[in-house]
A = this chain, B = another copy of it.
C-alpha cells in the first residue's frame, strides 16, 4: 500500500514530464485517474514478466487520452521502460502514442474515441465465459464518457449475460474539456448503472485502500457486474492544477513544471529526456505484434444448384463451421442484433445456442463486443443488415480495424435488392464504407456457391472481413457448359477476378446480386461481351483487368451508391496502371430510392438484365 502511494507521487511526476517533453497530451485526467490505474494494475492478475499470458485478467482503459497516466504506471510496475516512455511519448518512432494502444504490454484495447471501452470489456468478459477461462476484466473510464449511449448498451449486455467478471471503475472528477461535467451534460451515473441492474460501490478515488477493497468486493461478487464510482479531483497532486480544466489537454509551461515537480518532491530531469528525444529516429515505429493462430476445422463446401438467397448459404455454411468447432481450440461464435431469422443465424441459434450471442437492437455495442471477442481468441461473426452492420456501426469497425481484430462482418439486405423496406434500409455503401476503415477486406460474393466458400475462407484466416449480400434469391452462376461456376472444382482466392464470360468488344463488371443480371445480359451477345465478377473490390487483379478492359468498352454495374464504389476503385486502379478502356460507363445509384419490389427498382434504376442488355446493345451498335 505504502509502495503504491509512493508510486502515485512518482507517476504524477512522470505524467508532467512526458507531456512537457512531448509538448502535447492530457495531464489533467491522468493525474485524476492515477490511483485507479495503480490499483487496477496491481490488483489484477497480470504479470509484467508475462504480459500476454492468455489467462491474464484483461484491462481496458476507455478514456484513452489518459495514456500518460497509464504509461507511467506501466513503466513503474515494470511492464515497459519508463525512460522510453518519457522521452518517446507521442513521437512517431515510439509505441507510446497519444492514446493507449493495444499490443503494448498491459494494454488490451486501443481507445481514444470515448465510450467504447465498456463494450470492449464486455466482449472480453464474454470471451472469458465462452472459453471457460475465468479471467476478470477491468475497465477504467471517465465520467464524461458515461453520456455515450454505447455505455448503456454495454451495461445491458453485461447484465443479460450475467457477466459478474467485468468491473468498471469510473473516474468521477466532474470535469471535462468545456467545464464541469454536470454543467456540460449532466449524467446521473449512479442511477443509470443501478437502473440497468448493476451493483454500484462508491469510493474516494485517491484512496488506494478503498479502491483495492472495492476491487476485491467486485471480483468476489459472482452475481452482478459492479461499477466503482471513484470520486476524484482533476489534476490531483499539484495544487494549481487541481480542479482546473485548462490542464485537460495541455502540458505545463517550463515554470509550471518546475513548480509542480517541486511540489511533488521530484527532481526535474526533463533535459535528459529532451536530449534523448532529439536522437529518436525519423521513422514510424514498428507495428505491434497482434493476432493469434486460428485453429479451426473447415468442413467441406456445399454446392447449390437451385436458386437460393446468399444469406441462406451463409447461414448454412456458418452452422457447418460452428458445429465442426464446438470443441476446437478457437471457438466460432455469432453475434446477432434481433435479426436472426432474417440474416439466417437462427440456424446456429437453434442448434448451437452456446455459440450464439443475442444483443438486441444495440448495434454500436454489438460491433465493439464482437470486435473485442474476435481479438480475444474467438472467431467472431457479426451478422446484420447492411444499414446496421455497415452504416450504423461505421466508427466501431474503424476502431476494430485500429485494434487489428479478427471479425467477420456479414451484412445481408444490401442494396436495392432489399426492395420494399425502402431507403432507410437500402444499404448502399458496403464497398465504400469499409474501404475507409483501413483494415477490413471486402468480399461481395456473386451467388450462394461463392458465398458458401467465402464464409469458410474468412473463418479460417486471421483478420477483419466484410461480406456483403442482398436479400433476394439468386440464380446459380453457371459456366457456359451449364455447370455451377463456383461449384465443386472452385476454390475461393482472395483478390481474384472471375471471368464468367469472354467476349471481344464490351466488358461488364460487377459484384454481388447484380452479377446474374450481367451474365444474363451478356448471353444475348455471345462472344462479344465479357463478364467479370469482381468479388474483392478493394484488391484488384491487374492482369485480368488489363486483358479484359484495355481498349474495350467497359460498363460497371453496381447496386451501390454511385459516387464511390466499384467504378471509382476500378477507374483509379486502371488509371494508375495505364489501362485505358475506350469507353467507361457506370450504372449505379445516385439518390435515395423509393420502396418497391426489387425487380421493379432494378428496372427503374437500370440494373435489370433487360436494361443492361439494352445498354450493351447500344455500346455494340
Contact = CB atoms under 8 A, between A and B. Distances in A.
Contacts of A340: 177-178
A417 to B, nearest CB: 14
B575 A114 contact: no
Pick from A184, A284, A564 the residue with the most CB of B within 10 Å.
A564
Contacts of A428: 436, 438
B436 A561 contact: yes
Nearest to A22: B420
A424 B111 contact: yes
A491 interface: no
Given A185-B360, A194-B195, A595-B90, A575 B571 contact: yes
A570 to B, nearest CB: 8
Contact of A571 (B22, B94, B439, B571): B571
A596 B90 contact: yes
A594 B285 contact: yes
Contacts of A387: 113, 395, 398
A160 interface: yes
Interface in A163-181: 176-178, 181
A328 interface: no
A98 B25 contact: no
Contacts of A572: 567-568, 571-572, 586
Contacts of A195: 188, 191-192, 194-195
Contacts of A423: 97, 99, 110, 112, 402
Nearest to A191: B195
Interface string A315-351: 0000000000000000000001011111000000000
Interface in A77-114: 90-92, 94, 97-99, 101, 110-114
A365 interface: yes
Contacts of A388: 113
Interface in A419-433: 419-425, 428-429, 432-433
Contacts of A601: 92
Contacts of A112: 421-425
A214 interface: no
Contact of A436 (B284, B429, B581): B429
A97 B584 contact: no
Contacts of A584: 575-576, 578
Contact of A153 (B98, B148, B421): B148
Contacts of A419: 24
Contacts of A39: none
Nearest to A605: B284
A156 B187 contact: yes
A401 B94 CA distance: 41
Contact of A284 (B113, B359, B604): B604
Contact of A569 (B197, B392, B429, B564): B564
A361 interface: yes
Given A176-B338, A387-B395, A569-B568, A97 B435 contact: no
A223 interface: no
Nearest to A359: B185
A362 B149 contact: yes
B160 A92 contact: no
A126 B112 CA distance: 30
Interface string A205-221: 00000000000000000
A294 interface: no
Contacts of A145: 361
Interface string A137-151: 000000011011111
A159 interface: yes
Nearest to A584: B575
Contacts of A538: 563
A292 interface: no
Contacts of A578: 583-584
A115 B364 CA distance: 12
A387 B113 CA distance: 8
A618 to B, nearest CB: 16
Contacts of A360: 144, 147, 176, 181, 184-185, 187
A592 interface: yes
A489 interface: no
B194 A594 contact: no
A590 interface: yes
Contacts of A575: 571, 574-575, 581, 584
A153 B147 contact: yes
A596 B91 contact: yes
A593 B363 CA distance: 27
B604 A92 contact: yes
Contacts of A188: 195-197
Interface in A362-411: 362-365, 387-388, 391-392, 394-395, 398-399, 401-402
Given A147-B361, A147-B362, A395-B392, A420 B24 contact: yes
A40 B148 CA distance: 30
A161 B561 CA distance: 38
A186 interface: yes
List the 5 closest pairs (A to B, CB-CB), nearest first: A149-B149, A185-B360, A112-B424, A92-B596, A191-B195
Interface of A: 22, 24-25, 64-65, 90-92, 94, 97-99, 101, 110-115, 144-145, 147-153, 156-157, 159-160, 176-178, 181, 184-188, 191-192, 194-197, 282-285, 336, 338-342, 358-365, 387-388, 391-392, 394-395, 398-399, 401-402, 419-425, 428-429, 432-433, 435-436, 438-439, 538, 561, 563-564, 567-569, 571-572, 574-576, 578, 580-581, 583-586, 589-597, 600-601, 603-604
9 contacts: A90-B420, A92-B604, A99-B424, A112-B423, A148-B361, A148-B362, A185-B361, A192-B196, A432-B564
